[in-house]
Structure 1
Amino acid sequence: MTPLVRLTSIAAPLLRDNVDTDAIIPSREMKSVSKTGLADGLFAGWRYRTPGSRDPDPAFVLNASRYAGAKILVSGANFGCGSSREHAVWALAEYGFRVVIAPSFSPIFQGNCVRNGLAPVVLPNDAVTALAMLAEAGTPVDVDLSRMTVSAGETSWSFSLEDEPRVMLMEGLDAVELTLKNRAAIQAFRAADRTARPWIYLGE
């Protein structure tokens, strides 16, 4: 995965609470099990005029030209609730988002974000509202994982991430790659265990 240390981008404000994974990527849009081919289906129920069409609804935020190329999404509480489909994160990532900022996330969705290179940033409600207003005014948003800050204009907010998700995002690691950072310790354990219990390794 591509490391994410610091990102400055326009942000798309989608201030709706309880945006579930079926809204993020409707089941009818999930036509493969791969991580590709999902961007067109992102928010399809809101983004297009009729189900199954590709006729943009001009009222939806992602169809506004001023948010073209946005890599940051600002949304409401309990973002990513509903089913645990990983396709929701894949669709956001393929569209180009690297950061989602919200007052809270569904825990499963939050974990899926980290494992797929998206930063789920939690800020208080008032901070999210202020950030959305700045985004609507065209103010770029800066997200810095090294300093754990979100900034826009003259305003800055702090956020927190646990050490493991932060390392995964900043170093571009998936769960296996994170484990392999301990390769030397794993190999040392196996060598000692092979000596202590040689019968375990007879099949190798």
Structure 2
Amino acid sequence: MNANHWTIHTGIAVTIPREDIDTDQILPKQFMKLIDKKGFGKHLFHDWRYLDLEGKVPNPEFILNKEGFQNASILIAGKNFGCGSSREHAPWALSEFGFRAILAPSFADIFSINSAKNGIALIRLKEDEIHYLIDWVANHTGSQLRINLQAFEVQVGDQFFSFHLDSASVNRIRNGYDDIDITLNHSKEILEFEEKRKKEKSFLEVVW
């Protein structure tokens, strides 16, 4: 089960107003050697975030290194976020860093599937709404947005933006479910199917 489950999230918003941010920019391939989900957050946006290969010299010009944005948990970006390779490590890095939602006009399909498994809501808004949010955050450094997965609304100041998120993703994010949890939720039906199959097709049973 993913510990980062939530229904209503309020957090600091940060903007990276670029289109086609791919998974290699989110997490460069040289950091994909670990075998579990831990340890990737420090390498998030490594090539933009640091001036050296070792990740010891922060780039003062990159937004996540600037005062007021180090604890950001909501990311606003351009269209086609998460394109490129299908590596699940990219959502792992975003989740471990602390991001709970990404707002953009569009997302890559496989990235969308992997994100919900890690407690990250991908919120699709219209391009003019994204531009509004980018300008708003630029003029309100360290300000917070509120995202409600019950009302399907993003609140910024006194403005509200509606969005749609499929029920499967909402279920995963609100309950912290991964693929194993989803399967276990149907354990009764699985057992009933197995028992029925044994009775109806007993000849398929293998005896060792």
Q: Same fold (TM over 0.5)?
A: yes
1:147 equivalenced with 2:151 (yes/no): yes
Deviation of residue 145 (structure 1)? 0.7
| TM-superposition CA deviations, 1:156-189 (whole Å, max 9, x none) | 1111111111111111111221232222222222
Contact 2:13 2:69 in 1 (8 A): yes
Q: How high is the TM-score relative to the length of structure 2?
A: 0.92
| TM-superposition CA deviations, 1:73-108 (whole Å, max 9, x none) | 111110011111111111111111111111111101
Query: How far, CA to CA, are the matches of 2:188 and 2:89 in structure 1?
Result: 34
Report the RMSD for the aligned CA atoms in angstroms. Answer: 1.6
Q: 1:162 aligns with which of 166, 173, 177?
A: 166
Query: How far, CA to CA, are the matches of 2:136 and 2:165 in structure 1?
Result: 24
Contact 2:22 2:84 in 1 (8 A): yes
Deviation of residue 22 (structure 1)? 0.8
Identity of aligned residues (%): 35
Corresponding residue for 2:185? Answer: 181
Deviation of residue 45 (structure 1)? 0.7
Name the one with the larger helix percent: 1
Corresponding residue for 2:45? Answer: 43
Contact 1:24 1:88 in 2 (8 A): yes
1:17 equivalenced with 2:14 (yes/no): no
Deviation of residue 139 (structure 1)? 2.8
Q: 1:64 aligns with which of 58, 63, 66?
A: 66
Runs of 4+ with deviation above 4 angstroms: none
| TM-superposition CA deviations, 1:136-166 (whole Å, max 9, x none) | 3133101111111111101111111111111
Q: 2:9 aligns with which of 7, 25, 48?
A: 7
Amino acid paired to 2:150: S
1:131 equivalenced with 2:116 (yes/no): no
Q: How many residues align?
A: 204
Q: Any stretches of 5+ residues in structure 1 without a counterpart?
A: none
1:112 equivalenced with 2:120 (yes/no): no
Shift of the 198–102 alpha-carbon distance from structure 1 to 2, 3 Å rule, reads: same
Query: How far, CA to CA, are the matches of 1:94 and 1:122 in structure 2?
Result: 22
Contact 2:115 2:122 in 1 (8 A): yes
Q: How high is the TM-score relative to the length of structure 1?
A: 0.93
Contact 2:80 2:107 in 1 (8 A): yes
Query: How far, CA to CA, are the matches of 1:5 and 1:74 in structure 2?
Result: 19
Amino acid paired to 1:163: S
* Partner SS state of residue 13, structure 1: strand
Corresponding residue for 1:192? Answer: 196
Deviation of residue 109 (structure 1)? 0.7
* Partner SS state of residue 10, structure 1: strand
Contact 2:117 2:176 in 1 (8 A): no
* Partner SS state of residue 102, structure 2: strand
